[in-house]
Amino acid sequence: MSEVTVLKIGGSVLTDRSKERTLKLREINRIAKEIASVGVRDLIIVHGAGSFGHPQAKRFDLDVPGKCSYETIIIHNVVKELNRIFIEKLAENGMLVVPVHPLNCTISREGRLENMMTDQIRLMLKNDIVPVFHGDVIMDRIWGRAILSGDQIVAHIAKCLNAGRVGIGTNVDGIMDGKKVMDVITPEEFCGVKKLLKGSKDVDVTGGMASKANELFKLAEEGISSHVFNASKKGLVINFLSGERNFGTIIRGD
Amino acid sequence: MSEVTVLKIGGSVLTDRSKERTLKLREINRIAKEIASVGVRDLIIVHGAGSFGHPQAKRFDLDVPGKCSYETIIIHNVVKELNRIFIEKLAENGMLVVPVHPLNCTISREGRLENMMTDQIRLMLKNDIVPVFHGDVIMDRIWGRAILSGDQIVAHIAKCLNAGRVGIGTNVDGIMDGKKVMDVITPEEFCGVKKLLKGSKDVDVTGGMASKANELFKLAEEGISSHVFNASKKGLVINFLSGERNFGTIIRGD
């Protein structure tokens, strides 16, 4: 197995977060084409739920601990729908992709991913298949059920498979210090940036940029760097997959 | 957790095996109603693929070892469609059901199920959720991909969760000795019955009744009994779930 690349595409890139279950079909198409055009080997894709999960989860109070119910399953089905559509577009562009639904292979403890089966993922990569994960509701040892963010998945799988490259495609230019994109964040700066992001207003059921950065800082502490960039800007997914690094924010894992 | 019940519904019960992708919708409805009406706790459902998998797998030569390809994924999608429809009917009848796709949580070695994550399944049961598995194509350590029969899933999960009851709903009255249904098969008789079934003509990509009996004999050797009955006959699913045993074939695990 060559170096594994993990690419996350945020739910806000693929869907219109302001309206429930609204696709950005043109964007989904573009992103699928960009990913397929580079043809990276040993690629794992993770996508967020966007309007196929967040508003519903909020309505059903799934962002607080609580018993597993019919609503839990509705959320699972809704985000699966987005997954199906995204996968269809990737396949149309010639990619050998399979869905991986975290509810089926992951459990958490008080909202933190505790265990994920990865043998099947390693075999998919060995067979030139691209697994496509999504944010999901999963079974939780303590709470009954929990929301699992795409970012938690990225951090976990990148660590398990010792990923060489981790890209987080969002709808912002990177991690911001006021109006300026931070080019690089080194481990020494993590504490300061955490404080900075705490005031951020962009908060969804998985915690927005503060929570995203938190996952990536933890990953960096394991020695794995990541790269936050704007996937809504044409060409940047290609640039990331091609190994360019002169855009967005690099979170340094050294 | 109380005693776990595993119920398999054969693909021939839910679909018309003679025509590709043909549902027996009335039967699916009836079976869903029967299962829901008994309201068994700690239930795991497994269903076969029937015409949503077998003919396609045969056409694509998926019943022999070979590389993972686009066809593999088509089979997965087709059987998932049947799973979605069956689950919908179970949910319509008030059941809290979630799909479990073996491709996401299971791997095999030369066609034999080698590893399945079960922690998420235990948590589903703890949360009163009924997991619904299906026959699938999965990643195989040696072959690339393999077909995983519902019967292998039944035997594996029944063993892992030390199931108290295992029911195999097929479209025949039980395991036949000529034209007579065998009421009970004891471990001493396994060898003889294996020889008897070898000549059976009802063979699909997962091996028909001979292969089904083989899985159940292995399960019996682990001390777990199972019950093969005709789920196409009205009321027998209810009878099985209610604990009746005076029909079909009991494979004794003592």
At B28-85, the pLDDT tens digits run 999 999 999 999 999 999 999 998 988 888 888 877 777 778 888 889 999 999 999 9
B138-150 confidence digits (pLDDT tens): 999 999 999 999 9
Mean of pLDDT values over B116-121: 98
Q: How many domains does the structure of chain B reveal?
A: 1
CATH of residue A233: 3.40.1160.10
Which of A99, A105, A144 is nearest residue B127 as measured by Cβ atoms?
A144
Distance CA A67, CA B100 (A): 20
Measured in angstroms, the CA of A6 and the nearest CA of chain B are apart by: 18
Flag if B120 and A139 touch (Cβ within 8 Å): yes
Q: Is residue B208 scored above 70 in pLDDT? A: yes
Which domain range does residue A97 map to? Answer: 5-251
Residue of B nearest to A113 (CA): B120
Q: Is residue B203 scored above 60 in pLDDT? A: no
Q: Which residues of A touch B68 (CB under 8 A)?
A: 96, 127-129
Mean of pLDDT values over A71-79: 89
Q: Is residue B205 scored above 90 in pLDDT? A: no
Q: Is residue B242 scored above 90 in pLDDT? A: yes
Global pTM value? 0.95
Amino acid B69: pLDDT: 80
A110-167 confidence digits (pLDDT tens): 999 999 999 999 999 999 999 999 999 999 999 999 999 999 999 999 999 999 999 9
Q: Is residue A204 scored above 70 in pLDDT? A: no
Measured in angstroms, the CA of A110 and the nearest CA of chain B are apart by: 13
Amino acid A1: pLDDT: 58
pLDDT band at A61 (very low <50, low <70, confident <90, very high): confident
Measured in angstroms, the CA of A248 and the nearest CA of chain B are apart by: 33
Q: Is residue A191 scored above 60 in pLDDT? A: yes
Amino acid B67: pLDDT: 76
